[in-house]
């Protein structure tokens, strides 16, 4: 069975969608949730699903031990689901082509440092865009610059608030993230 390691910093609705998909399909299991934020919602979600968690700080994240710990799980994929720290080069190099991220906009637009969460949706609305969407891409040493795997689009409606757009984008994410993981696992 394929093993996934999830990285998340926040509420964890994407992590929950991936866990549900794993249970429903039996195609993979989540072996570990890595989180950098004490009290983050994703930690409760992991606990409810009996999935071990690893709380990291800046130092442990950059240690050689961390790479070894990850390797110990034998993951098929490392999945960044709302994870806000830049992945260290040593981790990228230890798992070539095996780290993916989801971004709540159509990259290369509205990506890069500082473009996360509501900042992205605010910028999209302020620019008067008529559509937005999600990008699932490989992770390399630079923020939001790895090769794109999948993009899915949705409209930006007149009068949209960042919150309303975020809700529409989350729906895309919760469907396409697990299914893209399924596609990648079937083709590795």
- Say whether residue 103 binds ligand GRF (CB under 6 A): yes
Contact between 136 and ligand GRF per CB under 6 A: no
Show the site string, 161-180: x = touches ligand GRF by CB under 6 A, - = not.
Answer: ------------x-------
Q: Is 2 in the site for ligand GRF (CB under 6 A)?
A: no
Distances (CA, A) of 153 to 65, 149, 161, 175: 39, 14, 17, 12
Ramachandran sector of residue 102 (left: φ over 0; alpha: ψ -120 to 50; beta: rest): beta
User: Applying CB under 6 A, does 137 fall inside the site for ligand GRF?
Assistant: no
The answer to whether the CB of 173 falls within 8 A of the CB of 134 is yes
Find the binder of ligand GRF among 2, 5, 7, 12 (CB under 6 A): 12
For residue 9, count other CB atoms closer than 10 A to its CB.
20
Structural tokens at position 177: 């993230």
DSSP category for residue 52: -
State the number of CA atoms in the 13 A half-sphere of 68 facing the CB: 4
Q: Does 104 bind ligand GRF (CB under 6 A)?
A: yes
Does the footprint of ligand GRF cover residue 34 (CB under 6 A)?
Answer: no
Check if the beta carbon of residue 154 is closer than 8 Å to that of residue 168: yes
Interface map 47-76 toward ligand GRF (x if CB under 6 A): ------------------------------
In the set 2, 103, 121, 137, the catalytic residue is: 103
Report the residue from 13, 27, 53, 63 that binds ligand GRF according to the rule CB under 6 A: 13
Tell me the C-alpha distance between 175 and 18, whole Å.
Answer: 9
81 binds ligand GRF (CB under 6 A): yes
Concerning whether 103 is annotated as a catalytic residue, the answer is: yes
Residues that bind ligand GRF (CB under 6 A): 8, 10-15, 81-82, 102-104, 116-117, 173
């Amino acid at each position: 069975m394929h093993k996934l390691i999830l990285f998340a910093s926040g509420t964890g609705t994407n992590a929950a969608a991936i866990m549900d998909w794993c249970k429903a399909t039996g195609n993979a299991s989540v072996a570990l949730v890595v989180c950098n934020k004490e009290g983050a919602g994703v930690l409760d979600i992991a606990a409810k699903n009996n999935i071990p968690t690893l709380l990291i700080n800046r130092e442990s994240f950059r240690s050689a031990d961390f790479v070894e710990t990850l390797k110990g799980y034998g993951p098929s994929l490392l999945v960044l689901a709302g994870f806000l720290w830049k992945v260290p080069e040593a981790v990228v190099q230890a798992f070539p082509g095996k780290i993916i991220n989801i971004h709540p906009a159509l990259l290369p637009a509205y990506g890069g440092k500082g473009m996360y969460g509501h900042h992205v949706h605010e910028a999209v609305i302020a620019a008067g865009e008529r559509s937005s969407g999600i990008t699932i891409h490989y992770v390399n040493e630079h923020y939001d610059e790895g090769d794109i795997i999948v993009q899915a689009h949705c409209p930006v409606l007149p009068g949209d608030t960042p919150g309303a757009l975020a809700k529409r984008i989350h729906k895309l994410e919760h469907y396409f993230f697990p299914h893209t993981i399924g596609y990648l696992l079937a083709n590795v």
